[in-house]
Amino acid sequence: MAYNDQDNATLVIFGATGNLSRIKLMPALYLLDKASQLHPQTKILATGRRDWDKERCIEEVRDWIVDSTGVRFDVDVFQRFSRRLDYYRVDYSQSGVWPLLKHYLESETTSDNKQRNIAFYMAIRPAEFGLVIDALGDNGLLMEKAGWRRVVIEKPFGYDLDSAQVLQKRISRHMKEQQIFRIDHYLGKETVQNVNVFRFANTMLEPLWNRNYIDHIQITHSETAGVGTRAAYYDGSGAMRDMIQSHLLQLLSLVAMEPPASMDAEDLRDEKVKVLKSIRPITEEDISTRAFRAQYTGGNIGSEIVRGYLDEQNVPADSRTETYAAMKLYIDNWRWRGVPFYLRTGKRLAQRQSMISICFRHPPQQLFRDVSKEGMKQNWLILGIQPCNCLRMEVTVKEPGLDMQIRQTSLNASLLDEGDVRTDAYEDLLLDILSGDRSLFLRHDEVEYAWRIVDPVIDAWSRDKKPLQTYPAGSWGSPESRVIFDKPQTRWRHSLDPVQ
């Protein structure tokens, strides 16, 4: 493969000994190396507070990759990969470390990495983003004199609108917007990227993609996993901030946006922002019919008995953090006015599933004798994000035979066949960071508008002292969540298979 010198860079990972680096970043970088996607001179500098050295870091990373599901370990590739790796111990609160790190980066990375392009990846606690970026800026590490400098920020970007604005002001003192890569890893997922292709490379859908044909849209992300060891972060966040403010609103804007002028980052992001700006604000009066929250209690996930949220490690016994959140949104524009978008997410639910389900309107008339009105199902279009990476269109057909019996069948345009190579979202996003493509990253105004949508709900919930709704682990959440549906016959769509 021909390498571009602009992609020859050093990737500095802050928080490299942590969970994100272990389960996502290092395996993704290894896979990119295996697929010959990294420039031969690209280096990876892992930094963290732990007292590791280069050898220890290589050993740990080796174990992470061996343990990583979906990664086939190859000794030769790992040898090449390990030559890119180095470890630098940094205590972020010690101001003395930054000039040393600068010196290291300028000397170690120049010998065969003349461009001195550097991407700094913030895989650290959100509370430390500002501190580390200030230190990089104050030490001249973000100045683009001898090559590009980029900063990658993981979500959450802020805790609410005000804190997001404060953080933005703080970091924009040191760099231009073009240097900031705000990650939403959902945008790197295969089906999510396919939403644009599906919508804008197929003319037959466009006439149907509006309020005249679509009854409602559901966007679901469900997990069987509980909070695990992340309570320190999650208990202060909750499902609304953790999933809806970021991933689910991104999915909504891709499904609902107008065709962009081009697929360039700014054109795409302009269209997504227009959607977020058109969302009808949720007022105090309609919170109870537009948002729903609940918390899991003990239950069964498959054959495993699991504990409730309040009994999880590091969760306060009186925590009111929601582990399930659902929301109804209306986009008040020409295309979507009146079409409800139902978003829901939860931990410890019955299945791990992310999908966008588009429900079309009922046929206007019941024409077939002997077919009950109830037998006439609505068409659905299902975009499966995970675990099934697929695209299905449900239509009604006649059963073979003399009787007029009908049933639902699904036209399958799945994106991956068994045995096809699946790439992880982080592989794609890391490559985009190195090549400077910002189209799958969030612009600051997108983040702000997303906070504007969820903030009133989070605020009202924080003042509401009524007992929290609960749901048993392993269920599909509380049936009460249906309070947000406009029509009594609407149901949450749980499965990819047609409902008969």
Which residues bind to ligand BG6, rule: CB under 6 A?
A: 155, 185, 223, 242, 354
Read off φ and ψ for residue 78, nearest 5 degrees: -65, -35
When the beta carbons of 114 and 352 are compared against ligand BG6, the nearer one is 352
When the beta carbons of 235 and 242 are compared against ligand BG6, the nearer one is 242
When the beta carbons of 45 and 390 are compared against ligand BG6, the nearer one is 390
When the beta carbons of 174 and 185 are compared against ligand BG6, the nearer one is 185
Question: What residue number has its CB nearest to ligand BG6?
Answer: 242
Residue 494 tokens, joined? 């749980």
CB of 155 to ligand BG6, least distance (A): 6
Give 341's contacts (C-beta < 8 A, 6+ positions apart). Answer: 216, 217, 218, 219, 252, 256, 328, 329, 330, 331
CB of 139 to ligand BG6, least distance (A): 30
CB of 306 to ligand BG6, least distance (A): 15
When the beta carbons of 116 and 185 are compared against ligand BG6, the nearer one is 185
When the beta carbons of 187 and 291 are compared against ligand BG6, the nearer one is 187
Residue of 103, 247, 362, 444 marked active site: 247
Q: How far, in Å, are 231, 329, 344, 392 from residue 308 at the CA level?
A: 13, 29, 20, 35
CB of 476 to ligand BG6, least distance (A): 17
When the beta carbons of 221 and 377 are compared against ligand BG6, the nearer one is 221
CB of 354 to ligand BG6, least distance (A): 6
Catalytic, 494? Answer: no
CB of 223 to ligand BG6, least distance (A): 6
CB of 185 to ligand BG6, least distance (A): 6
CB of 121 to ligand BG6, least distance (A): 15
Give me the residues paired with residue 33 across strands: none
CB of 242 to ligand BG6, least distance (A): 5
Instruction: Give the integer Cα–Cα distance in Å for 450 and 54.
Output: 41
When the beta carbons of 58 and 167 are compared against ligand BG6, the nearer one is 167
Which strands form 43-48's sheet, in the order they lie side by side? Answer: 85-89, 43-48, 9-14, 117-122, 149-153, 180-183, 441-442
Instruction: Give the integer Cα–Cα distance in Å for 424 and 474.
Output: 26
Instruction: Give the integer Cα–Cα distance in Å for 441 and 183.
Output: 5
When the beta carbons of 157 and 380 are compared against ligand BG6, the nearer one is 157
Instruction: Give the integer Cα–Cα distance in Å for 103 and 96.
Output: 12
Which residues are catalytically annotated? Answer: 247
